[in-house]
Amino acid sequence: MTAPTTLRGGFVFLDPEQGRVLRVAPFQYNPDTLTRTIQPRGVGEDAGDRLEALRLKGPPRESFRFDAEFDALDQSGAGRREATRQDGLSATLAALETAVYPASAQLLHERGLADLGMIEIAPVEAPLPVLVLGTRRVLPVRITEFTVTEEAYDSDLNPIRAKIGVSVRTLTTDDVASGHKAGALYLRYHQEKERLAGLTGNGPGAVGLTGV
């Protein structure tokens, strides 16, 4: 009997305008733990707002915090093993880290404008990070914190074992313009939550009551 294959999570980086995949950064090992924080956005935040107590003005602020571990000595695939033999985990880490860096071409462009006494009103959008945690959780995010702990090195001081701590915030329809790829991805994620919530079907008897 063949054991079921465990899906790997990771990040997919999309072109924010066209939605095409720019690169994929899978986790080598799925996180052991993941912390989610959900902050409701109510209209009546203060006591005494009797007409607003149950009104919601938008999707909640949802954030994720998790650690991902990588080990160059346990990489699979001939091409990947060859790359890690030469550079350790440098390429793997760079694929994740550059998500919070503006493109070097953009920096050079801004420097050129500054030399001409000009400024750029709105910087070019960075690739859209999409956090994938299984087929039911595919959500657009903004990376808010990125911590890299390098734990071992090869003879050229390339990291060969590392732990990455990542904090992200879900991007909702309130965060992006109408028609943005992130908005469509968020709605799909939101609707999947509603679908799953509807599967419970529990009545008051589940908590020992005949009615409320």
Strands (E), 54-127: 61-71
Would you say residue 48 lies in a domain?
Answer: no
Helix (H) or strand (E) holding 36: strand 34-39
Residue 208 neighbours by CB distance under 10 Å: 6
pTM, two decimal places: 0.83
Whether residue 123 is contained in a domain is answered as yes
pLDDT band at 49 (very low <50, low <70, confident <90, very high): low
pLDDT of residue 4: 66
Q: What's the mean pLDDT in 109-132?
A: 81
H-run or E-run covering 184: helix 181-197
If 0-12 CB within 10 Å is exposed, 13-18 middle and 19+ buried, where does residue 170 land?
buried
Domain membership flag for residue 46: no
| Better pLDDT: 169 or 97 | 169
Number of domains in the chain: 1
Query: Within a domain: residue 206?
Result: no
Of residues 110 and 153, which shows the higher confidence score?
A: 153
Domain extent, residue 94, equals 10-40+57-195
84 inside domain: yes
Q: Is 115 a domain residue?
A: yes
For residue 142, tell me if it sits in a domain: yes
Q: Is the pLDDT of residue 111 over 90?
A: no
Q: Given a cut of 80, is residue 184 above it in pLDDT?
A: yes
pLDDT, mean of residues 27-38:
94
Work out the percent of the chain whose per-residue pLDDT is above 70. 88
pLDDT above 90: percentage of residues in the chain = 50
Q: Is residue 52 part of a domain?
A: no
Mean pLDDT computed over 119-131? 81
Contacts of 170 (CB under 8 A, 6+ apart): 59, 61, 62, 63, 64, 139, 140, 141, 186, 189
